[in-house]
Amino acid sequence: MQTRFFEDFHPGMTMRFGPRLVTREEIVGFAAEFDPQPMHLEEAAGQQSLLEGLGGSGWHTVCVTARMLAEGLFADTAAASMAGVDEIKWLAPLRSDSRLAVTLTVLDTRASDGRPDHGVVAMNCDVTDQFETLVMRLIGTLTVGRRAAAAGSAG
């Protein structure tokens, strides 16, 4: 697949990544390692919490999103990486056997302060499950390599 560069991102553009299955075993395993709170580990504790049932860590939703971006976007984009996060909202619990998908919308593109060979892409990622429930919204920025920089390094 052709490499994507900064110049290929435009405000309003959308891309969709996933779906990716998240099993109960993965939810409990992630929580045990990174967010060992009872409502992420046991059904009964989840029922007694605001999640109203076993619900995955919000950070698990973030990490599955990161995986979809790494495979769906960064793998064929020049020198792409997350630069920062401006907002994360967890809007619905992450349930066992969810199939998460990411809809990325480009909000803005701009020059990078101090890195003339990169540009900055501001994006909104809406993460939905197989019922189109909006589970998480993440707004953040990527740095992406410019086409001119790649041409320069090849010449």
Any idea what DSSP says for residue 56?
B
Closest distance to its own copies from the beta carbon of 56 (Å): 12
Residues that bind its own copies (CB under 8 A): 33-37, 39, 49-50, 57-59, 62-64, 66-67, 70-71, 74, 79, 81-90, 140, 143
Nearer to its own copies, 87 or 132 (CB): 87
Closest distance to its own copies from the beta carbon of 115 (Å): 8
Nearer to its own copies, 42 or 90 (CB): 90
Q: Angle 10-11-17 (CA atoms, 0-180°, nearest 5)?
A: 80
Nearer to its own copies, 16 or 89 (CB): 89
Helix (H) or strand (E) run with residue 51 in it: none
Nearer to its own copies, 10 or 44 (CB): 44
> Which of 34, 52, 40, 58 is closest to 135 using CA atoms?
58
Distances in Å between the Cα of 152 and the Cα atoms of 12, 80, 116, 142 are 29, 17, 12, 22
127 residue type, one letter? V
